[in-house]
Homo-oligomer: A and B are copies of this chain.
């Protein structure tokens, strides 16, 4: 039963990706319209892997697979389908297949599935649920997007605070509706407010007469349904939580969030940061078509054209200087380029510091000072390097001095801009990863060209 893919670790081979031969067989079965062969190939796979495969096919093959394999698309596969193709997949499947899959899902997976759908489609899916689950899903949908209320499942195992271990175990043996996975029994008071929880391990290892109240964990903390999902992920990671009860504004228990959902959120938040810092839309996915991909990248490239034109304007202002000393045109991109890279370094550290909450009001000025000094130091160092290179190349001591000074100025500006711009955006309630790179690169381009060409014009010409 050991995962065969973890057994024969060949460093040349990525064991976690479906073998090329298997994918080729699956594609051949799709192209041949051979349903039984397709079933034989897909059935041994985990739902998450089937979902990945569906995502990685071309849209044409995906459509055909969904027709051929529709009878086997269950809750496990459907809840793993990436957001980017979810609507496409749901539309391609027969209604009764979707209905059957949705009935099998935990309520948090249903919420995740329907929250981005239009009202009529959402209604159609919800109508497949029994009344109780439907109410749970609809209540979850009343909480804001990206909130704990959307992330939670409503199935919670609770016990009155006065129960003993024995009473609780007897209760669990009697109940039929227990969720697939649960890790704690939540103690509630008569008003349904959670007041602690007991791990199942402790429940199992304690004598039957022990009151639950004596077994509660210190780690217990409940989460407001309105809390942002990014903060929920932070809490789970920071305090090693496994599950946490979710409460409404009156502190009443409304659901529970488990660590696997928090892990998915953490994963998505990171992904978003990386993609935003690179100027790629945060919804980009490997299944996007050419047109979707091009469209996502245009806004940032467009912003980049504007900032590059601003920098070109600065250069144009010094056209006469360049005409009389072409070495300036040769060296000026170096000043801008190093400034841009130094700014990216600082910027990324700051964006991550904010995301991981390690950059706080208490240490922010120390970090501003550190980055500024580092900018000055690296500016001085690489300024000196470039001064030597420029001298060897052009034999002009004044030009050497000018490039050194421009490097010091630009790397210092890069450091200060790289920290203050994301901090300012964060203070204004904006995502610092979104707009910072464009702003800061503009700054280092403009200042880089201005400092270098300005000093050169003033001193050399």
Residues of B close to A226: CB separation below 8 A: 9
Are the CB atoms of B173 and A204 closer together than 8 Å? yes
Query: Is A461 positioned at the interface, with any CB of B under 8 Å from its CB?
Result: no
Query: Is A242 positioned at the interface, with any CB of B under 8 Å from its CB?
Result: yes
Query: Is A183 positioned at the interface, with any CB of B under 8 Å from its CB?
Result: yes
Which residues in chain A, 1-49, are within 8 Å of chain B measured between CB atoms?
Answer: 1-3, 6-7, 9, 11-12, 14-18, 20, 23-24, 46, 48-49
Residues of B close to A353: CB separation below 8 A: 286
Docked Cα-Cα span, A203 to B331, in Å, equals: 72
Query: Is A333 positioned at the interface, with any CB of B under 8 Å from its CB?
Result: yes
Query: Is A460 positioned at the interface, with any CB of B under 8 Å from its CB?
Result: no
Residues of B close to A278: CB separation below 8 A: 277, 344-345, 347-349
Are the CB atoms of A445 and B337 closer together than 8 Å? yes
Residues of B close to A179: CB separation below 8 A: 201
Q: Which residue of A1, A9, A373, A441 has the most chain B CB atoms within 10 A of its CB atom?
A: A1
Give A354-383 as 1s and 0s: 1 = Cβ < 8 Å from B's Cβ atoms. Answer: 001111111100110011011001100110
If over half of A's interface residues share one DSSP class (helix, strand or loop), that class is named, otherwise mixed; here it is helix
Residues of B close to A331: CB separation below 8 A: 312
Given contacts A235-B3, A330-B316, A363-B286, contact A294 B377 (CB under 8 A): yes
Are the CB atoms of B199 and A201 closer together than 8 Å? no
Are the CB atoms of A169 and B298 closer together than 8 Å? no
Query: Is A274 positioned at the interface, with any CB of B under 8 Å from its CB?
Result: yes
How many residues of A are counted as interface, with CB atoms below 8 angstroms from the partner's CB atoms? 150
Are the CB atoms of A284 and B382 closer together than 8 Å? no
Closest residue on chain B to residue A247 by CB atoms:
B2
- Shortest distance in angstroms between A229's beta carbon and chain B's nearest beta carbon? 12
In-complex Cβ contact of A274 among B157, B273, B312, B338 (8 A): B273
Residues of B close to A9: CB separation below 8 A: 224, 226-228
Q: How many subunits of this chain does the assembly comprise?
A: 2
- Shortest distance in angstroms between A258's beta carbon and chain B's nearest beta carbon? 8
Residues of B close to A247: CB separation below 8 A: 2
Are the CB atoms of B238 and A48 closer together than 8 Å? yes
Docked Cα-Cα span, A334 to B241, in Å, equals: 49
Give A267-281 as 1s and 0s: 1 = Cβ < 8 Å from B's Cβ atoms. Answer: 100110111011110
Q: Which residue of A20, A344, A371 has the most chain B CB atoms within 10 A of its CB atom?
A: A344
Query: Is A223 positioned at the interface, with any CB of B under 8 Å from its CB?
Result: yes
Are the CB atoms of B293 and A308 closer together than 8 Å? no
Residues of B close to A55: CB separation below 8 A: 358
Residues of B close to A309: CB separation below 8 A: 334, 389
Docked Cα-Cα span, A402 to B377, in Å, equals: 40
Are the CB atoms of B362 and A18 closer together than 8 Å? yes
Are the CB atoms of B374 and A301 closer together than 8 Å? no
Are the CB atoms of A201 and B222 closer together than 8 Å? no
Query: Is A397 positioned at the interface, with any CB of B under 8 Å from its CB?
Result: no
Query: Is A96 positioned at the interface, with any CB of B under 8 Å from its CB?
Result: no
Query: Is A119 positioned at the interface, with any CB of B under 8 Å from its CB?
Result: no
Given contacts A181-B201, A259-B260, contact A315 B286 (CB under 8 A): no
Give A243-277 as 1s and 0s: 1 = Cβ < 8 Å from B's Cβ atoms. Answer: 00001000100000001101110110011011101
Which residues in chain A, 161-183, are within 8 Å of chain B measured between CB atoms?
Answer: 169, 172-173, 175, 178-179, 181-183
Are the CB atoms of A277 and B279 closer together than 8 Å? no
Given contacts A56-B358, A201-B178, contact A3 B222 (CB under 8 A): yes
What are 21 A-to-B residue pairs whose CB atoms are below 8 Å?
Answer: A3-B222, A6-B235, A16-B234, A46-B239, A56-B358, A173-B205, A181-B242, A183-B200, A200-B204, A266-B266, A271-B352, A278-B344, A293-B374, A294-B374, A297-B342, A304-B337, A308-B333, A312-B331, A322-B322, A322-B326, A337-B445
